[in-house]
Amino acid sequence: MYAPTTESPAKPLVNRGALHHAQGDLTQAEADYRAALELDPTNATAHANLGYLLACTDRHGEAMASDRLAISRDPQRSAPWAHLGMSQIASGQVDPGLVSLARAVRLDPENHFAWEAMGRTLLALGRNAEAERAWRSAVAAQPDDADLLIAWGAVLVTLDRTAEAADALRRAVVVDPASARAWVQLGAVCLVRQDHGSAGEALLTALELDPDNAEARYHLALLHCVVGATDEAREALAPLAARGPDAPFADEAAALLALLRPS
C-alpha cells in the first residue's frame, strides 16, 4: 500500500484514461482506468473515474460499486458521492440517491453537476420549490451555463415566478446568444407575461437561428392570436399541422387552426 505522501504510480494511466474519456473513446478510457487499478488498487481517482464512466454507459450497478470504493478511499471527495447519487436514482433508488447528492453538495457547494441532478429529480417528484432551490444553487456555482439558466427558468415558471424566469432566460441568451432554445423559452415566458414586444423579438430571433423550430413557430402563432392577427396565426400554424400527428406541436397546431377557421 502506497503511503499518502507518495504519488501513485497509476497517475499517468488515470490521466490517460481521463483524456480518452474526454475524447469520447470510452473503451480505451475504461481499459486505462482498470490498468491503473491493477497497478494501484487504492487509487481513489481511478475508482471515481471508472464509476463515472460506467454510469455513462448505463452500467449503474458496477458504477455504484466503483463509487463506493472511491468513497471508502477518500470520503471527503464530492464527485464520487455525486456519481453514486446519480446511479442510485437511475437504478430507482431515489431517496438514497438524493441523500448521496446532498452529501456531495455539503462537501462541495460548487458541485453544479450534483445540484443539477438534484433539481431534475426533485422536479420529477413534483417537489418544485426544492427543485428551484437546487437549480438556483447550480447557477450560483456555474453562472455562465446557459443550460442551467434555461432549466432554472423553466422551474420558476412552474412556481408562477415568471418575472424571475424571464430574468434567468435573459441571462441565458446573453451567455449563449446562439441558443435557439434559450430564445424560444424567453419568448414563451414573455408571452405568458403579456410582454408581446419582447415575446415577438425573442421568437423571431429563435427562428432566425433555427428556421425549423416548431416550438418557436407555435408560440409565434399564439402571439399572433393574442394580438388579433388571425391571418398571420393561420399562416404560421398550417405548416406545423401539415407535418403529421407525430411531429412536434402538430396536434396543438391542428387544434388551434380548427378554432381559427372562419365560420
> Residue 244 above 70 pLDDT?
yes
- Amino acid letter for position 62: E
Q: How many residues does the chain have?
A: 263
Residue type for position 9: P
Sequence ranges of the domains in the chain? 1-108
Q: How far is CA 244 from the centre of its chain?
A: 29
Coil vs helix vs strand at 105 = helix
User: How many CB atoms are located within 10 Å of the residue 15 CB?
Assistant: 14
Angle, helices 196-209 vs 214-226, to 10°: value is: 150
Q: Which triple of cell numbers denotes residue 78? A: 464530492
> What is the Cα–Cα distance from 123 to 131, expressed in whole angstroms?
5
pLDDT category at 1 given cuts 50, 70, 90 is very low
Q: Are 17 and 49 in contact (CB under 8 A)?
A: yes
Residue 228 φ/ψ region, left for φ over 0, alpha for ψ in the -120 to 50 degree band, beta for the rest:
left
Measured CA to CA, the distance from residue 48 to residue 56 in angstroms comes to 13
Mean pLDDT across the stretch 211-240?
91
Model confidence at 2, pLDDT cuts 50, 70, 90, reads very low
Chain-centre distance for alpha carbon 25:
23
**pTM here?**
0.85
Q: Phi/psi at 154 (nearest 5 deg)?
A: -65, -40
The closest of 184, 110, 118 to 146, measured between CA atoms, is 184
Query: Taking the mean position of all CA atoms in its chain, how far away is CA 107?
Result: 22
Reported as a single tens digit per residue, the pLDDT across 97-133 is 999 999 999 999 999 999 999 999 999 999 999 999 9
What's the mean per-residue pLDDT of the chain? 92
**In contact, 79 and 101? CB cutoff 8 Å:** no
- Region class of 194: left (phi > 0), else alpha (psi between -120 and 50), else beta: left
Spatial CB neighbours of 77, under 8 Å, sequence gap ≥ 6 = 44, 48, 70, 71, 107
Q: Map grid coordinates 480518452 to a residue.
A: 20
Mean pLDDT, range 172-184, rounded to an integer: 97
Q: 34-84: per-residue pLDDT in tens?
A: 999 999 999 999 999 999 999 999 999 999 999 999 999 999 999 999 999
- Residue tagged 423550430 (cell numbers): 213
- State the amino acid at position 132 in one-letter form: E
Q: Report how far residue 238's alpha carbon sits from residue 244's, in angstroms, rounded to the nearest whole number.
A: 11
pLDDT, residue 243, reads: 87
Fold (CATH) for 1-108: 1.25.40
Helix axes 214-226, 180-192, angle to 10 degrees: 20
pLDDT band at 263 (very low <50, low <70, confident <90, very high): low
